[in-house]
Amino acid sequence: MTGFTVPPAPPLTLVIFGATGDLTRRLLMPTLINMTKAGMLGDDLHVLGVSIEPGGDEFLVKHLDTFLAANGMEQAQQSDAWQRLKTRISYISGDFTQGAIYQEISRRLQHASSANAAFYFAVQPRFFGDITSRLAEHGLLDETAGVFRRIAIEKPFGHDLASAQMLNATLLHSADESQVYRIDHFLGKETVQNIMTTRFANMMIEALWNNNYVDHVQITAAEFVDVGTRGKFYDATGALRDMVPNHLFQLLAMVAMEPPNSFDAESVRNEKGKVLKALRHYSQEEAAKNAVRGAYTAGPLDGKDLPAYTETKDVAPDSNTETYVALKLYVDTWRWAGVPFYLRTGKALRARDTEVVITFRQVPFAQFPRAPSRPDLPPNKLIIQVQPNEGLQMGISIKSPGLVLKTAPIELDFRYADHFDIGHQTGYESLLYELFLGDQTLFQRADSIEAGWAAVQPFIDLWAADGSKPDPYAPGSMGPACADELIGRDGRVWHQIGDD
Ligand code: BG6
């Protein structure tokens, strides 16, 4: 890790449902290895894997060992940290839709050196409610005498407002909100966490952070990867549900929130929740004017011929699902009144590029001629480069050297990689650490999840009702032409995706 060391997490058993699945193998285990290396975990962290495959403790260890070695993680697999960690991994084989497995978990926890436990659901979302109810029925969520019991849930958290509400109700019937850790992996990213620091540790930034000085905000999560082998999941989901109410709204909330009274979990989550609740809810007509979507066509990408989205394996040939979406939203608060927030995300685009771009207002008339169309005096921009090439850029104007008074735009450019080592993390280290510590700052609260879904529900309803097809766009492009029109109607353009 960078910069400073932290004390090891308290003793606990991490119970992973879905212990042989991809999430566990690719993310959770490498994360636990990194955390062990960094001293974030002590020898009193135990892992209890649960899955349907038959076998005992040695089966899971072998399964993980082989996977790490065969999938480019040899370094992790050969590390001291893994040798130590694997002695503390045990396994229960069984069906988590049946009661017997919960009795066995209970028995194991009674014999564990600590009764603390975090239950991680690395399984299909349709099982989230059922597993939670069964844990509660078997007393596994009872917190007594200083013992903690927590559940960690991956996205997707529902597929619309009603299903998210229902899932929250089921979870909160069996567990207290303080026990529920809803993960949005974007919040584990160093650069996302840095948004709050950029704002609240810098007077020269935060003082301008309002509708007096900000012209508009763009939030982009562009992906170079296509849908690939995820056709089944993706066709039922689409770009809007997959990325907007969760990842993009987390970025938006960080950008638009008021300064919290303190950085404790509830203060931060209160402020973020207020932003999401202030997102304007559009009528169907307004939704149609403020959203566009696209699906990629066949074409070359990364030196290969990419089939069109509708020709992807497990995607319906007549699919209406979008692989690109762009929205124009408003946060109806005093600070942000009148400032449009343009959001876009898509697959098979020109480059991988997640960024927040704050464009400030033009300077008022001064000794320079008024300059909306002058390329030598563009408005100031602050670019928070979330990934890749994590950093921060500031676009300002200077005097171009010479006798004539001429301005020239330049960019102040900070890149994390020039100063820190943040490259070898999975992004889950801080999430798991805080889960173990019991700090919910980086996790989503029920009300915020529902507020996010409420704001996108008009778009979901619109596209379900009108049966329209997404507009085509070429792989490797910046997205469909309708997205340029959406922002172009306001006399603005999208920030370039990828390096200029
Ligand atoms: C996931 C989505 O939540 O986030 C994926 O389901 C998407 O479709 C991914 O590719 C993007 O995350 P990251 O960290 O690669 O930007």
Give 103 Cα–ligand 1 centroid separation in angstroms. 35
Q: Helices 128-137 & 99-111, crossing angle to 10 degrees? A: 60
| 63 in active site | no
What pLDDT does residue 404 have?
79
List pLDDT tens digits, range 355-411. Answer: 999 999 988 765 655 545 566 678 999 999 999 999 999 999 998 898 877 888 999
Residue with CA nearest ligand 1 atom 4:
243
What pLDDT does residue 4 have?
57
DSSP β-bridge partners for residue 413: 393
Give 118 Cα–ligand 1 centroid separation in angstroms. 24
Q: Residue 26 burial by CB count (10 A; 0-12/13-18/19+): exposed, middle or buried?
A: middle
Which one of 159, 244, 247, 323 would you pick to mutate in the ligand 1 pocket, going by the greatest count of ligand atoms within 8 A of its CB?
Answer: 247
Give 442 Cα–ligand 1 centroid separation in angstroms. 17
Give 99 Cα–ligand 1 centroid separation in angstroms. 33
**Cα separations (Å) of 163 from 119, 223, 457?**
22, 27, 11
Which H or E element spans position 169? helix 161-174
Give 223 Cα–ligand 1 centroid separation in angstroms. 8
Non-local CB neighbours of 286 within 8 Å, separated by 6+ positions: 458
Q: Residue 130 above 90 pLDDT? A: yes
Which H or E element spans position 83? helix 80-85
Which one of 242, 296, 355, 428 would you pick to mutate in the ligand 1 pocket, going by the greatest count of ligand atoms within 8 A of its CB?
Answer: 242
What pLDDT does residue 367 have?
62
**Cα separations (Å) of 301 from 54, 70, 225, 307, 475?**
41, 27, 9, 10, 6
Give 243 Cα–ligand 1 centroid separation in angstroms. 7
Counting runs of H as helices and runs of E as strands, what totals does the chain give? 19, 18
DSSP β-bridge partners for residue 49: 16, 91
List pLDDT tens digits, range 260-279. Answer: 999 999 999 999 999 999 99
Residue 445: which of 242, 274, 241, 256 has the closest Cα? 274
105-154-53 Cα angle (round to 5): 45
| Ligand 1 atom nearest 230 alpha carbon | 8
What's the CATH superfamily of 187-488? Dihydrodipicolinate Reductase; domain 2 (3.30.360.10)
Residue with CA nearest ligand 1 atom 5:
242
CA dist., res. 173 & res. 138, Å (int): 14
Under the banding of pLDDT at 50, 70 and 90, the label for residue 72 is confident
Asked whether the beta carbons of 335 and 211 are under 8 A apart, the reply is yes
Residue with CA nearest ligand 1 atom 2:
242
Annotated binding residue 189: yes
What pLDDT does residue 31 have?
96
Domain with CATH 3.40.50.720 in the chain: 12-154
Which one of 186, 243, 344 would you pick to mutate in the ligand 1 pocket, going by the greatest count of ligand atoms within 8 A of its CB?
Answer: 243
Count other Cβ atoms within 10 Å, centred on residue 415.
13
Return the higher-pLDDT residue of 281 and 376.
281
| Ligand 1 atom nearest 155 alpha carbon | 3
**Cα separations (Å) of 454 from 160, 244, 338, 442?**
8, 12, 21, 21
List pLDDT tens digits, range 158-202. Answer: 999 999 999 999 999 999 999 999 999 999 999 999 999 999 999
Domain with CATH 3.30.360.10 in the chain: 187-488
Asked whether the beta carbons of 260 and 199 are under 8 A apart, the reply is no
Written as one string, the DSSP assignment of 305-352 is EEPPGGGSTTS-TT----SEEEEEEEB-STTTTT-EEEEEEESSBSS-
CA dist., res. 355 & res. 413, Å (int): 14
Question: Which residues are near ligand 1 (CB < 6 Å)?
Answer: 155, 223, 242, 354
Under the banding of pLDDT at 50, 70 and 90, the label for residue 222 is very high
Asked whether the beta carbons of 387 and 194 are under 8 A apart, the reply is no
pTM of the full structure: 0.95
Q: Average pLDDT in the 472-494 region? A: 97
CA dist., res. 306 & res. 312, Å (int): 9
**Cα separations (Å) of 447 from 52, 111, 191, 276?**
34, 37, 25, 9
Q: Tokens 């080592």, residue?
A: 421
What pLDDT does residue 76 have?
87
What pLDDT does residue 144 have?
87
Annotated binding residue 21: yes
Buried b (16+ CB within 10 A) or exposed e, 265-300: beebbbbbbbbbbbbeebeeeebbebbbbbbbbebe
CA dist., res. 141 & res. 134, Å (int): 10
Annotated binding residue 223: yes
Residue with CA nearest ligand 1 atom 14:
186
Asked whether the beta carbons of 78 and 49 are under 8 A apart, the reply is no
Q: Which of 46, 63, 247, 495 is catalytic?
A: 247
What pLDDT does residue 424 have?
77
Question: Which of 43-57, 188-202, 297-311, 412-426 shows the lowest per-residue confidence on average (mean pLDDT)?
Answer: 412-426
Residue with CA nearest ligand 1 atom 13:
186
Q: Average pLDDT in the 58-81 region? A: 91
CA dist., res. 388 & res. 396, Å (int): 23
**SS3 state at 444:** strand
What pLDDT does residue 1 have?
44
Residue 308: which of 481, 240, 497, 318 has the closest Cα? 318
| Ligand 1 atom nearest 246 alpha carbon | 3
Under the banding of pLDDT at 50, 70 and 90, the label for residue 2 is very low
Fold that domain 12-154 belongs to in CATH: Rossmann fold (3.40.50)
160-297-464 Cα angle (round to 5): 25
How confident is the prediction for the chain on average, in pLDDT? Answer: 94
Annotated binding residue 238: no
**Cα separations (Å) of 445 from 70, 178, 437?**
38, 9, 17
Q: What percent of the chain has pLDDT over 70?
A: 96
Count other Cβ atoms within 10 Å, centred on residue 2.
13
Residue 358: which of 268, 222, 256 has the closest Cα? 256
